[in-house]
Structure 1
C-alpha cells in the first residue's frame, strides 16, 4: 500500500475547511500554518471590527482578541454585522465572541470589556502579533498608535465616515514604515472632530474597509503580498473610486518613533473626555449661563424663538413646531450675514430668549458663538441666546420620549 506523506501540521478537517485558501499559489499550506500560529487584536467591535473579526475568525487565525466596552444597541445593527437582535443589551465583546465561535469553534478568543487607557493598553497589546484599530474616535488612535510603537506591533488602521473611508498600516517595521504620529503629530481640537455617530455612515462602507483590514492583517502575519505601509488607500463609495496615495517616511522628529522620542515608557494619555465608539462626546464649549436644559426649557414661561441648526435632511425625522431652520453650513460658510440678520431681526426683538438646538448639543454650541458675533449689536443678545444642552436627544430623554431618537 502506498502511504501519503504529510509535510504540514494541519489536520484533515483544517485542510478541508481552508482548501480554497490552500490552493492559492500566493498563499499555500505554509501561510495557513503561520496564520494558525498567529494572533490578532481587534480594538472596537463596531462597524469596522465586525467584518474584520468575522473574516479573521473564519480564515484559520489561531487567537483573536476583542476589545470594546459598549453594549449592543438596535442602532448598531445596520453596520455592525457581527451582532444580532438576540444579542441587544449584551456587551459587544460577548456578542462578537458568540458569533465568531459559531463560525470557528477551535479559535481561541480573548475578550476585554473595558475602555482602553494608557494604564491598561500595553499589557493587552503586547500579547498579539498584529493590532487592528477599528475605533471611531480619532483621539483614541493616538493612544493605540503609541502603544503599538512601544510594543513594536504593526497597526492596521481604518476609518469611515458617510460614504468614504481610508486604510493604512502603521509602524510596519519590515518596511521601516511611519507611525500615525509621523503624519499627524498632534491630536486635533475636540470641537473639530466628527465621527460616523455624529454625521452618519452607510453600512457597506464599514464592511468594505473592515474586510480590507482583515486582509492586511492576514498578509502581515503570513508574510505574503505587499503590505499597505507608506501608503494610504482612499475609498469613495459614492463614486466607487479607489485610489492609493504615497505617505512620507518615518519621521526622525516623531514623538514616539523618532530619533529622540519624548514618549518612551507608556503611550500618552488621551484627553479625559475620551468617548466610546457609539456614545459620542458631549462637548462643553460654553459657560453654564449660556446653556439651558431640556427640563428648564419645557417649564419656561418666556417667549422663545427656536433656531434649528441641523442639516435639512434631518428635519424630515422630527423638528419643533415653528422653529427657524439655519443649517450650520449657511451660518459658518455662506457669507450672507446681512441677509441673515434681516431674517432673524423680528423674532430676536420680539422674543425673550433665543434657543439654538441640534441633534446632540454640540453644533448648537458653535452656533451660539457664531450668532453672538453676528448679532452683537442687538439688545441683550448675550443674555437672550442659549444652547439647548444635549439637543434633541436630551429632549427625548428628559421631556418627551415620543420624540424620535436617532
Structure 2
C-alpha cells in the first residue's frame, strides 16, 4: 500500500473546514498554518468589530482577543451583526465570544470587558500579532496608535460614518509605513468631532469596512498579497465607488515614531475633557446658567422652542409648535438679516427661548451662535437656554413614550 505523506500540521477536520482556502494558489496549506499560529486583537465589538471578528473566527485564526466596555443595546443590532436580541443587556465581549465560539469551537478567545487607558493598553496589545482598531472615537485612535507603535505592532484601522468609510494599515514596519500621528499629529477639539452615533451610519457600510479589516489581517498574518500600507482606501456606499489615495510616509517629526519622540514609555493620555470610549460625549460649551433641565422645562411656563435637528429627524418626534432651524442653516446661513427677521418677534415676545437637539450638544453651539446673531435684542443672554441632554433627557426624565434614538 502506498503511504500518504503529510507536509503540514493541520488535522483532517481543519483541512475539511478550510478546504476552499487551502486550494487557493496564493494561500494554501502554509498560509493556513501561519494563520493557525497567529493572533489578532479586535478593539471595539461594534459595527466594524462584528464582521471582522466573525471572519477571523471562521478563517482558522489561532487566537482572538476582544476588547469592549459596553453592553449590547437594541439600537446596536442593525449594524453590529455579531450580537442577537437574546444577548441584549450582556457585555459586548461576552456576546461576541458566544457567537465566535459557535462558529469555531477550537478558537482561543480572550475577552477584555474594560475601558482602555494609557495605563492598561500596553499589557493587552503586547500579546497579539496584529491589532484591529474598530472603535468609533477619535481620541481612542491616538491611544491605540501610540500603543501599537511602542509595541511594534501593525494596526489595521477603519472608520465609517453615514454612507462612507475608510481603511488603512498604520505602523507596518516592513514598508516603513506611517502611524496615525504622522498624518494627524494632534487630536481635534471634541466639539468638532462627529461619530456614527451622532450622525448615523448604514449597517452594510460597517459590514463592508469590517470585512476588509479582516481581509487585511489575514493578508498580513499569512504574508500574502499587498498590505494596504502608505495608502488609504476610501469607500462611498451611495455611489458604490472605491478609490485609493497615497499617504505621506513616516514623519521624522512624529511624536511617537519620529526621530526624537516625546511619547516613549506609554501612550499619551487623552486631552483634558476628551473621552476614550464610543459612548456619545456630553459637551459642556455653556455655563450652568445658560442651560435648563428637562424637569425644569416641563414645570415652567410655555417657552418658545427652537429645534436645531436635521429635518429628517423631525419625523421621529418633535415638540408641538416648535420652530425648526436646522444647524446647517444657522451656522452657514448667507442671509443673516432674513434669519433675524424670522426670529425677532418670537424672541422679543417670549421670556424664555429653549434650543433643543437630540442629545444637548448641538443646542449649546446653537445658543452661542444665536447670541451673536441677535445681540441687539434686550436680555438675549438671559432668555436663550439649551435643553440639557436634549430629547434623550426628555425621554428619560419626562416622557418615556418619546422615541429614543
Moved over 4 A (4+): none
- In the alignment, is the contact (CA less than 8 A) between 1:368 and 1:385 conserved in 2? yes
Partners of 2:26 and 2:38 in 1: how far apart? 18
Asked whether 1:342 is paired with 2:322, we answer: no
Q: 2:379 is matched with which residue? A: 380
Q: 2:303 is matched with which residue? A: 304
Q: 2:136 is matched with which residue? A: 136
Q: 1:329 is matched with which residue? A: 328
- In the alignment, is the contact (CA less than 8 A) between 2:139 and 2:274 conserved in 1? no
Q: 2:192 is matched with which residue? A: 192
Structure 2, unpaired ranges of 5+? none
Partners of 1:368 and 1:348 in 2: how far apart? 13
Asked whether 1:274 is paired with 2:261, we answer: no
Q: 1:47 is matched with which residue? A: 47
Q: Secondary structure, in 3 states, of the residue corresponding to 1:123? A: helix
Q: Residue 280 of structure 1: CA displacement?
A: 0.6
Q: Residue 171 of structure 1: CA displacement?
A: 0.1
Q: Residue 273 of structure 1: CA displacement?
A: 4.0
Q: 1:180 is matched with which residue? A: 180
> How do residues 342-381 of structure 1 correspond to structure 2 at under 5 angstroms?
342-381=341-380
Partners of 2:277 and 2:154 in 1: how far apart? 23
> How do residues 6-405 of structure 1 correspond to structure 2 at under 5 angstroms?
6-271=6-271, 272-277=273-278, 279-301=279-301, 303-405=302-404
* 1:197-230 Cα distance to aligned partner (Å, 9 max, x none): 0000000000000000000001111011000000
Partners of 1:334 and 1:160 in 2: how far apart? 28
Q: Secondary structure, in 3 states, of the residue corresponding to 1:306? A: strand
- In the alignment, is the contact (CA less than 8 A) between 1:232 and 1:245 conserved in 2? yes
Partners of 2:333 and 2:345 in 1: how far apart? 21
* 1:144-182 Cα distance to aligned partner (Å, 9 max, x none): 000000000000000000000000000000000000000
Structure 1, unpaired ranges of 5+? none
- In the alignment, is the contact (CA less than 8 A) between 1:275 and 1:281 conserved in 2? no
Partners of 1:280 and 1:350 in 2: how far apart? 35
Partners of 1:139 and 1:368 in 2: how far apart? 26
The number of residues matched between the two structures is 404
Partners of 2:201 and 2:74 in 1: how far apart? 15
- In the alignment, is the contact (CA less than 8 A) between 2:359 and 2:392 conserved in 1? yes
Q: Residue 335 of structure 1: CA displacement?
A: 1.6
Partners of 2:200 and 2:185 in 1: how far apart? 27
Q: Secondary structure, in 3 states, of the residue corresponding to 1:111? A: strand
- In the alignment, is the contact (CA less than 8 A) between 1:69 and 1:92 conserved in 2? yes
* 1:221-256 Cα distance to aligned partner (Å, 9 max, x none): 101100000000000000000000000000000000
Q: Residue 276 of structure 1: CA displacement?
A: 2.6
* 1:62-91 Cα distance to aligned partner (Å, 9 max, x none): 000000000000000000000000000000
Partners of 2:339 and 2:227 in 1: how far apart? 52
Q: Secondary structure, in 3 states, of the residue corresponding to 1:274? A: coil
Partners of 2:297 and 2:334 in 1: how far apart? 31
Q: RMSD across aligned C-alpha pairs, in angstroms? A: 0.7
* 1:120-141 Cα distance to aligned partner (Å, 9 max, x none): 0000000000000000001100
- In the alignment, is the contact (CA less than 8 A) between 2:234 and 2:243 conserved in 1? yes
Q: Residue 270 of structure 1: CA displacement?
A: 1.6
TM-score (norm 2): 0.99
Q: Residue 275 of structure 1: CA displacement?
A: 4.8
TM-score (norm 1): 0.99
Partners of 1:99 and 1:343 in 2: how far apart? 55
Q: Residue 336 of structure 1: CA displacement?
A: 1.5
- In the alignment, is the contact (CA less than 8 A) between 2:190 and 2:274 conserved in 1? no
